[in-house]
Amino acid sequence: MFTGHEFADGASTIRKALDRHRVKAAFFLTGDFYRNPAFAREIRKLRKAGHYLGAHSDRHLLYADWAKRDSLLVSKEAFTADLLANYAQMARFGIKKEEALFFLPPYEWYNQTIADWTSDLGLTLINYTPGTLSHADYTFPALGKQYRTSEVILRSILDHEQNAPHGLNGFLLLLHIGTDPARTDKFYHHLDALLTELKLRGYQFVPLEALLR
């Protein structure tokens, strides 16, 4: 699955790799992403190709303190208004709430209260499966020790597959549809190779709804 907020530079490369391997992915995009006219064409192409298009908050809010996760930074009213604004932008592309009931929170950072508020809206909060560095594909050198090269990220995925008791069965791998220009080592250029290798290792890729039902 992929998230998107400010950047979409990998959209075409990602879409073509997924099409080549006949993989249906899930794209969780913010309201800011949906309302950006520069991204509209790729959004329509992803929808036409049958990929899941979901919500990632309207403005990419931080819901909880990084150091004290139980400390909320938003009220229920602000949370609800922001998320519904995200769905309002999705509706412009013909995406109905009832066909996008899975919600991936911004920063993938939340607490039980956020999960409860999500449920109150008739939605299901999900997150990526931990164990690999796939989500670090947004990092860039100026972040120092947080930075992970594409080689390191790819190796973390394949090593986990080989060493974990259940491999990558049932895994939700999180990547980004675009990243800051400060990252020149774009991991999405390795997506085709990753899909090829995992298929060689016997994996099948199923739509999000099939995996989570």
Maximum Cα–Cα distance across the chain:
48
> DSSP string spanning 103-162?
E--GGG---HHHHHHHHHTT-EE--PPSSSSGGGGG--GGGGGG---HHHHHHHHHHHHH
Structure tokens at 192: 């085709």
- Looking at residue 213, what is its pLDDT? 80
- Looking at residue 104, what is its pLDDT? 98
Helix (H) or strand (E) run with residue 29 in it: strand 26-29
| CB neighbour list of residue 129: distance below 8 Å, 6 or more residues apart | 170, 171, 172, 173
- Looking at residue 36, what is its pLDDT? 98
Going along 30-169, which residue ranges are E strands? 52-55, 102-103, 124-125
Dihedrals φ, ψ of 129, to 5°? -85, 125
Structure tokens at 37: 């006219």
Contact of 121 with 82, CB cutoff 8 Å? no
Question: What is the C-alpha radius of gyration for the chain, rounded to an integer number of angstroms?
Answer: 17
pTM of the shown model = 0.96
Structure tokens at 54: 């979901």
- Looking at residue 182, what is its pLDDT? 98
Q: Which residues of the chain fall below pLDDT 70?
A: none
Contact of 132 with 157, CB cutoff 8 Å? yes
CA-based nearest residue to 200, from 158, 155, 156: 158
- Looking at residue 45, what is its pLDDT? 98
CA separation for the pair 88, 107 (Å, rounded)? 21
- Looking at residue 64, what is its pLDDT? 97
Helix (H) or strand (E) run with residue 176 in it: strand 175-176
